[in-house]
Structure 1
């Protein structure tokens, strides 16, 4: 059985837990990523002919497993890794972490136990059953770790990682043509862990030749490992200071020219000029101006510009300050604009990056059309994000919208526009985005006349014109004109009327029909998912087609619907498709037994419990089998549960009514105030033991209440026992059904009952949200102008008069 992505991520993060406390995340990442790399190459290359990485005798992950419990485990792990590094020219790359460091890993038994558990976690990850290439399961896991390390490392250590979502935007706005040859080049002069380079390479169907440079030794090592993990072993990464000692050069000593370049340089780097002779730069990078001595943003941008071919393109992440700061930077900015090198600017939301909370922008350079460029395309994407912990994050829909709008140069009010060079010149080449795009929401103005005289203004009703285009008769049904230009609601229960109006019903059914067309179109493709398929290609096909089809939907944002699919993919569907691509549809029959070592706890919630054994259904949850094959038996359980709930409610009501001071059931309460069956039985026995002629009417009533309560306790217990027996019987039927499922049944359960039904429910909720928004706005307007000023004045006068009367009465009484 293939390991699920979420399982893999959970296991890897458990490995991180073993190292917390002794070191910072920026340090323990070296240990975890080194072990992940060793496990990866061992599973993929050990014992294979002609491997890209040679795993020599004694240097496989299995050799680490043999060391569990060994008193010299730390030193021996180092030797295993050194062996692998020496064989593959990876010295200084995979051997940075010292597994024998007592300061970080503890001394004696503490180190032995910690490293043994750490190796055991990786040992439990079955990577041999997963394709490590193709869909980059391991590469994605590496990226997952990098993101979490960056989050935990804090402000000073997060610079080694560019958020994957931002990397995707940077890569896609380069608009790499599909016919681009594999020998086309991409370059990142501050490549960090290499995530930007990898995202750009993914955008080229034939791949690209990757070049990078990084001056931090540990980060350089991450980049080298990252290239292997993402199946780019031939990528060339060099370790040195790019500005002071650029490594990639042409034969004549000038800077090497690349087809594409990307970068996320350290923001406003103060010591950029160390080792750089700006007056006599041998690479002539500062012909358009010398950046300020204490701010290197433009130094990196000019280096990249010089490193591009005459038709080259680049996308560079820089702080917003580069758009408007003055002096030397203003001169450079003006020269770049007048030369036509800047194709566009994309303003990003704040707090996306791990090294800083300030907002950044993407500057897109394009030399190919520089001579004829007469405008600069701007996007203000600052409001499109989701909160993720203490950071902001671009959603899939935000990424797609930015890329669509930029690459197609679509002008959208308050979001994007093509700004002429003349307008930019008139603004002294200040490129601050708010000067050109007002992204603020229109102010919701109040109508003074309506507040004085009542009625909903026609202007407010007309502002909902996008609704009336879809519901043309609903407007007339809802509003009646009371005086010229002002209206009142004709219907009291307008929320219900809107939802059930024929045009609203037609809107719902028509929009769902677009989804059904998409669903039916892809049914055969989903049924034909086979071992070896690439899940990322599948979700790409599905999501792009859904986005395109829902563009025809009225009132809905097709990007919102696209996000629903992408969220469901990330939460559930992705794991399902990966499993199918590994094990085929037969995987739907499998129930995985959850087994833990002695002293450990289950990390997964079981789906079925059969006696002492617990099982997980990775593809088809039991509820789907119950709904399709055992609905009657589930209905019987539901009826029993409803009866039990009714008895429980009646019991609670009886107890609440008869406890407290002098309550009939008070004497049956425990010290904690709870009435128990045992106490109740004792109380009844005591009451019945009284001589009949001494039993007062009050005591007989108390006895009746106690017996009624005891009867409810017995009935509740009886129903609970029946429910448990029925549930156990149903579980046995479901358990026996799994191995008997035919392939066509599995496909129906997964594609129709699981994926299809879930997505349809999400989309229906989004559709209904539209009519709810209309109703909410109408309610707001109705309440805003419900009481005109004269009515309020009369009410104030009436209340003031009552207060005066009360005051007069108080004076008389005194």
Structure 2
């Protein structure tokens, strides 16, 4: 309960920081400022807590105490050794005057300098390849912050002061990580279509992760891969359901640089050590990655951009990811290119779960050929239809396709979860009850009337390898038979009621009088018309 309370306090402080910027720019822009400055505070506070622990073998009472102790230690003869040790521990070093604690103090005393904050960002970026170009999206000199140097500087100082109220000293990584996740979700809600670039709704993330991790929860050194990782939230879900979260290795790739930076910050804020995260800024389809020491993974999780365009150049037919299929996903719809990329990187005993539009289940031509080959190879394990309007960037219904690399059977489980949702103002949501219901159907792997159907390969072959869910799960509800005698009795009763009301209305009209002859003539005409 304390963790939840801490998390709420943290969220309210961070969200009030957003209020400072909300009137100046849209959410897709101010999220970079807010999340970037929160991240710098995290780096600075973590550094001071660690340096104090190294010097005093204890936790500081306040960050100011830690800063004072650090300043004193730097005057001594062991200063160089301390700095070198901190660099090894943290992968970066922050000078006393560039700590967030100092910046907040300067902001309160109206002597804050944007130049110093920019220098602090630059130092972090240059300290280790882990942090290269991490703060690129934060323009401390943007006109959006205000007109003129003073107003711009005041806006940044206000943000620094507000975020300083967040108590990271007494918040563990789960609390901070959850607060960060909440903010990312709120930004997704505010940015609408842009949110598709960086956010998968938590309900969908939970289903994907629970399915992909099933049977692997106790595995030490679990490897997770998301080739379209957005802000990294989907990857990080594995931490929630693993019994050995400290040993998970995370691999992720993201095309959009600002979103890639968000994912890197998100990893650190969730306490993921640098050795366990390998993230890359790049185009997943154009150039295969990873190609080094580890190329296949226990879990592959994906929510790629739907029906995106890609080059589909002939050379890709020689690419190991696609060469077995003889055809390529069409230029106008890269859905199967993403799916095959993920499957290629899946371990033989692993599980992959990907979200895609329903078209991949029944479209023909090249996609039909790829789908048939996957089904003949037994790669498609389950198809789950999700409710419409779950995502911020599209209202279309989507489905989850679950894939396995090598298995004995070729049966496919179909689940229709399209009705399992709560209607919301902007988006529909799936509750934990809905999610558990889907997972239970998946784990049972059997036919349940109107909810799921376990199709043998022969069923699918008869359907020409069309995987459209209504072909397998019959959700048709037979309408109740109408009793004609009851219906006639109801109609007669309604007619009698109408006649009674009409009679009362005419009596009321007849009581009306007027000295105006024309009004009385009109009134009498109306009464005659109603009486018929």
**Counterparts of 1:228 and 1:802 in 2: how far apart (Å)?**
77
Candidates 458, 465, 469, aligned match of 1:422: 458
Q: Pick one of 19, 25, 28 that aligns with 2:27.
A: 25
What is the CA distance between 1:262 and its match in structure 2? Answer: 0.8
Residue 434 of structure 1 is matched in structure 2 by 470
Q: How much does 1:288 deviate?
A: 5.3
| Paired residue secondary structure (1:293) | coil
Among 383, 400, 422, the residue aligned to 1:386: 422
State the Cα deviation string for residues 213-263 of structure 1 (Å, max 9, x = none): 112111111111111111113311011111111231156xxx922221111
Superposition map of 1:432-471 within 5 A: 432-452=468-488
Is 1:406 the counterpart of 2:442? The answer is yes
Check the 8 A contact 1:42/1:55 in 2, yes or no: no
Counterpart selection for 2:251 from 185, 208, 211: 211
1:85 is displaced (CA, Å) by 2.9
Alignment coverage as a number of residue pairs: 467
For 2:361, the equivalent position in structure 1 comes to 323
Higher relative contact order (CA 8 A, sep 6+): 2
Cα offset, 1:193, TM superposition: 1.0
Structure 2: gaps (5+ residues): 55-85, 511-523
**Segment of structure 1 superposing worse, 66-75 or 193-202:** 66-75
Which residue of 1 is the match for residue 139 of structure 2? Answer: 98
CA deviation vs aligned residue, 1:70-110 (integer Å, no higher than 9, x gap):
56632221112222333343121234312222344442221
CA distance in 2, matches of 1:792, 1:211: 68
Superposed CA offset, 1:20-78 (max 9, x none):
24333222111111121122233333224364454422342112213316566322211
What's 1:269 paired with?
308
Q: Is the 8 A contact 1:71 1:112 kept in 2?
A: no
The offset of 1:359, in angstroms, is: 1.2
Helix, strand or coil: the match of 1:156? helix
Give the deviation of 1:7 after TM superposition.
2.4
Q: Which stretches of structure 1, 4 residues or longer, exceed 4 Å deviation after superposition?
A: 69-72, 282-286, 787-807
SS of residue in 2 equivalent to 1:245: coil
**Aligned partners of 1:802 and 1:9: how far apart in 2?**
63
Aligned residue for 1:277, secondary structure, equals: helix
User: Does residue 239 of structure 1 match 2:275?
Assistant: no
Equivalent residue, structure 1, for 2:70: none
How much does 1:792 deviate? 6.5
Note if 1:8 corresponds to 2:10: yes
In the alignment, is the contact (CA less than 8 A) between 2:356 and 2:399 conserved in 1?
yes
Which of 227, 231, 235 is the matching residue for 1:197?
235
Aligned-partner SS, 2:106:
coil
Residues 282 and 378 of structure 1, relative CA distance in 2, 3 Å threshold: closer
2:439 counterpart SS class: helix
Write the deviation string for residues 175-228 of structure 1: whole angstroms up to 9, x where unpaired: 433564332321111111111111123322113211111121111111111111
Q: 1:798/1:364 Cα in 2 relative to 1: closer, same or farther (>3 Å)?
A: closer
Partners in 2 of 1:447 and 1:72 — Cα distance? 80
- In the superposition, relative to structure 1, how do residues 76 and 415 fare at CA in structure 2: closer, same or farther (>3 Å)? same
> Which string of whole-angstrom CA distances, capped at 9 and with x for unpartnered residues, describes residues 649-690 of structure 1?
xxxxxxxxxxxxxxxxxxxxxxxxxxxxxxxxxxxxxxxxxx
TM-score, normalization by structure 1? 0.53
Greater CA radius of gyration, 1 or 2?
1
Helix, strand or coil at the partner of 1:364: strand
Mark the CA change 1:24 to 1:788 in structure 2 (over 3 Å): closer, same or farther.
closer
Contact 2:312–2:329 (8 Å) recurs in 1: no
Give deviations 1:383-431, integer Å, cap 9, x for gaps.
1222344112221111111112112225332222212222222221111
User: 1:795 deviation in Å?
Assistant: 7.4
SS state at 1:345 partner: strand
Contact 2:317–2:326, Cα closer than 8 Å, also in 1: no
> Within 2, Cα distance between the matches of 1:802 and 1:312?
77
Contact 1:278-1:286 at 8 Å conserved across structures: no
Query: Contact (CA 8 Å) 2:321, 2:340: kept in 1 or not?
Result: no
CA change 1:6–1:444 in 2 (3 A) is farther
What is the TM-score of this pair, normalised by structure 2?
0.80
Deviates most, 222-231 or 433-442: 433-442
CA RMSD of aligned residues (A): 3.0
CA contact (8 A) 2:317 2:323 kept: no
* Unmatched 5+ stretches in structure 1: 453-786
1:34: which partner in 2?
A: 36
Judge conservation of contact 2:224–2:299 (CA < 8 Å) in 1: yes
* 2:205 is the counterpart of 1:172: no
Distance (Å, rounded) in 2 between the aligned partners of 1:37 and 1:810: 81
Q: Report the CA distance between 1:451 and its aligned residue.
A: 3.2
